[in-house]
Chain A
């Protein structure tokens, strides 16, 4: 297994004689795999993140980054922190400079990158979080959600191997939360290993490939979320509850006498499992860029007149924000659901997300549904 991080029997306590927070902690974080960290407050998540960034040096045990032990020297830590970026729950704890673009440039400037490189990275990060117009704003004037985007941009500008997000959707309104998760997906597609810690179990269930559950400073479970939630007593003892979709699948399967597996993770999958139409509706997939989003939209809407339209991806969404679109947010899930229901539908998305779309098509096959898709343009 190609691991970004490997922790072996790590023991860490804040003071010499204090109770260890991480006690015989072992965990592997696989490269490129969408990983979630769950656990109730006090389970050791923050301490764990600080261990990954080298802020906490364990009293015993090994911390391996890209296969090599972390060196707690100035250079070693700088190398580590140039490749491991953390976005904290409260952005005010990690943004320091006065202007937006200055704070984003803070990390790259600190590691001594040359001017041009820093500018390139800052511009790209601003574009990714859609703060281009606000780049010279003082931080005090920004709302909480905007500050969160600044913190994320600061992490992205480091072009890290691994991006750790602690409660990425906390404090964000629903639409902003959707966009942050789209950004996490984009990073994942760019090859960044994304690690998310959250209390939103539904979100983690929908998004993660590997689920890690912490309890009392140790890893209580590592693996597939479906397996974890099937043991409800274990879920309770870890301070968690089961996701709504999981519970619904379990209940309805029990009533209908069906096998709970395969486990649906989102709306289109559960609709496919329990009541999809025999014939798929036509799903027009329209990959687009900023330059051609509007023209592609106008063209496809003319051709496929009675189809509902959905959007996935913040750049396309921004270009089409004034159009009357049924599924402006979470278009991927809703459009596939329409297809499952036998209705024609159009999904316009940022072209980078093509693998994400394919992934959904493949997943639906597990539920016995073959989507009738046509890629346009």
Chain B
């Protein structure tokens, strides 16, 4: 019994009879409950693999396994799988079928033949999650690219998938919008959704994912945690990729004799800590305020005596709570990293956070504490 929710077992696929085999003996798995990044140069077969895993294309040879059972490609079974596995295509314009936002988000649930009330509930939930509730009645063609992307994401979330496949989710988005999409993906994963995404943003995939799968020439050439792959420069080059900057800088520090290679820092904050060597300093305290949608953030901070302290927000309920009361934090983006850095420079910081994201919020602070780079007090309110 493997822990893979989707698996391709020796799959072969080509688009036309005599054509090049885009998938050429592909053996790959999507680990359940994890954040996986699919890497590979253009033409390596990423989009094709997604289509095969989602039963859009039937392999010429080999099997696709869903929850350890081979796909039968019978109509009923495929429908069942598609209620559970959703793909977010790269170009949102490819996924829009209705003129108005709420109609398009409802497309999927309606196709599931759910009741009107259920459809309505799901549409509201999905639009809230992506922050597009205000645009419910808008015509989609009047929205910007980033807004359309969020609408299509809502459309996919309305299916309540347990596996979310994202094809280049941040492509074409400005930095803030890209960050918000990735935060939504993290939120989903924290709620138990398996997320697999393909992206050309090497640094993003390195800091975000638990594991990577690297495709080359229609096969999976590497599967596992990123570091062993990136340590082999020949493999990286053959795969058509480059190495993440945080990884390279960590290596540079190690070569300078400043530190050990491990633990591998995944974010700049973790790398900054390794560069700085500040064990003996006094760090500030990281306060974590767990927020629900109806929390009055300003009041809660006042009650805890943390009004003047630098604050960040992280996670869906925190954002919604902040928007509801008009609360302006210091760090709307990269809340956990910025707050941790504030603590490192000796000041206190408070991170207003969704209840499901607390562990993620603490991850950089844990990195510092657990590896002896210093001690940041973490207090939950």
User: Do A and B touch (CB < 8 Å)?
Assistant: yes
State the A residues within 8 Å of B (CB). Answer: 39-42, 89, 143-145, 167, 170-178, 199, 201-202, 236, 239-241, 244-245, 247-248, 251-252, 254-256, 267, 270-271, 274-277, 324, 326-330, 334, 337, 341-343
Q: Taking CB as reference atom, which chain B residue is nearest A41?
A: B144
Q: Which of A245, A248, A267, A328 contacts B252 (CB 8 A)?
A: A267
Q: Is B154 an interface residue (CB 8 A)?
A: no
| Cβ distance B168 to chain A, nearest Cβ, rounded Å | 8
Contact A41 B146 (CB under 8 A): yes
Q: In the assembly, what is the distance between CA of A236 and CA of B175, in Å?
A: 10
Contact B200 A177 (CB under 8 A): yes
Chain A residues in 8 Å Cβ range of B203: 202, 244
| Cβ distance A93 to chain B, nearest Cβ, rounded Å | 13
Contact A337 B252 (CB under 8 A): yes
| Cβ distance B123 to chain A, nearest Cβ, rounded Å | 24
Q: Is B261 an interface residue (CB 8 A)?
A: no
Q: Is B248 an interface residue (CB 8 A)?
A: yes
Q: Taking CB as reference atom, which chain B residue is nearest A169?
A: B200
Contact B175 A270 (CB under 8 A): no
Contact A251 B344 (CB under 8 A): yes
Q: In the assembly, what is the distance between CA of A199 and CA of B258, in Å?
A: 34
Scan residues 209-243 of chain B and give those whose CB is less than 8 A from a CB of chain A.
233-234, 237, 240-242
Chain B residues in 8 Å Cβ range of A41: 144-146, 173-174, 177
Q: In the assembly, what is the distance between CA of A201 and CA of B174, in Å?
A: 9
Chain B residues in 8 Å Cβ range of A144: 42
Known: A171-B42, A248-B271, A271-B256. 6 other contacts (CB 8 A): A40-B174, A41-B173, A41-B177, A175-B241, A252-B275, A275-B256
Chain B, interface residues (CB within 8 Å), range: 35 or more
Contact A176 B233 (CB under 8 A): no
Chain B residues in 8 Å Cβ range of A277: 256
Pairs across A and B, CB under 8 Å, 22 listed: A41-B145, A171-B200, A173-B240, A174-B200, A175-B241, A178-B242, A199-B178, A201-B175, A240-B174, A240-B175, A240-B176, A245-B245, A251-B341, A252-B276, A254-B345, A255-B281, A270-B249, A324-B234, A326-B233, A328-B233, A328-B237, A337-B252
Q: Taking CB as reference atom, which chain A residue is nearest B44?
A: A173
Q: Taking CB as reference atom, which chain B residue is nearest A274?
A: B275
Chain B residues in 8 Å Cβ range of A239: 174-176
Contact with A along B275-287 (1 / 0, CB 8 A): 1101001000000
Known interface pairs A248-B271, A252-B272. Does A241 touch B175 (Cβ–Cβ under 8 Å)?
yes
Main secondary structure on chain B at its contact with chain A?
Answer: helix
| Cβ distance A127 to chain B, nearest Cβ, rounded Å | 22
Contact B345 A236 (CB under 8 A): no
Q: In the assembly, what is the distance between CA of A8 and CA of B304, in Å?
A: 52
Q: Which of B145, B233, B333 contacts A236 (CB 8 A)?
A: B333
Looking at B175, B202, B269, B275, the one whose CB has the most chain A CB atoms below 10 A away is B175
| Cβ distance A247 to chain B, nearest Cβ, rounded Å | 6
Known interface pairs A241-B334, A251-B341, A252-B275. Does A334 touch B175 (Cβ–Cβ under 8 Å)?
no
Chain B residues in 8 Å Cβ range of A276: 256
Contact with A along B242-260 (1 / 0, CB 8 A): 1001001100110110100
Chain A residues in 8 Å Cβ range of B263: none
Contact B202 A174 (CB under 8 A): yes
Q: Is B172 an interface residue (CB 8 A)?
A: yes
Q: In the assembly, what is the distance between CA of A248 and CA of B275, in Å?
A: 10
Q: Is B41 an interface residue (CB 8 A)?
A: yes
Q: Is B43 an interface residue (CB 8 A)?
A: yes
Contact A199 B174 (CB under 8 A): yes
Q: In the assembly, what is the distance between CA of A358 and CA of B40, in Å?
A: 34
Contact A174 B255 (CB under 8 A): no
Q: Is B136 an interface residue (CB 8 A)?
A: no
Q: Which of A42, A241, A251 contacts B144 (CB 8 A)?
A: A42
Scan residues 331-375 of chain B and give those whose CB is less than 8 A from a CB of chain A.
332-334, 341, 344-345
List the 5 shortest-distance A-B pairs measured between CB atoms, nearest first.
Answer: A173-B41, A40-B174, A241-B175, A174-B242, A255-B276
Contact B240 A199 (CB under 8 A): no
Q: Taking CB as reference atom, which chain B residue is nearest A40?
A: B174
Q: Which of A143, A171, A329, A337 contacts B171 (CB 8 A)?
A: A171
Looking at A40, A202, A248, A334, the one whose CB has the most chain B CB atoms below 10 A away is A248
Q: Is B268 an interface residue (CB 8 A)?
A: yes
Chain A residues in 8 Å Cβ range of B234: 324
Q: In the assembly, what is the distance between CA of A162 and CA of B203, in Å?
A: 31
Q: Is B208 an interface residue (CB 8 A)?
A: no
Chain A residues in 8 Å Cβ range of B237: 328-329
Contact B276 A241 (CB under 8 A): no
Chain B residues in 8 Å Cβ range of A254: 341, 345
Chain A residues in 8 Å Cβ range of B43: 143
Contact A248 B176 (CB under 8 A): no
| Cβ distance A147 to chain B, nearest Cβ, rounded Å | 11
Q: Is B128 an interface residue (CB 8 A)?
A: no
Q: Is B107 an interface residue (CB 8 A)?
A: no
Q: Is B57 an interface residue (CB 8 A)?
A: no
Chain A residues in 8 Å Cβ range of B135: none
Chain A residues in 8 Å Cβ range of B174: 39-41, 199, 239-240
| Cβ distance A31 to chain B, nearest Cβ, rounded Å | 29
| Cβ distance B276 to chain A, nearest Cβ, rounded Å | 5
| Cβ distance B325 to chain A, nearest Cβ, rounded Å | 19
| Cβ distance A204 to chain B, nearest Cβ, rounded Å | 11
Q: Which of B40, B248, B275, B344 contacts A275 (CB 8 A)?
A: B275
| Cβ distance A144 to chain B, nearest Cβ, rounded Å | 6
Contact B173 A174 (CB under 8 A): no
Contact A267 B241 (CB under 8 A): no
Known interface pairs A251-B269, A255-B344, A256-B276. Does A241 touch B176 (Cβ–Cβ under 8 Å)?
yes
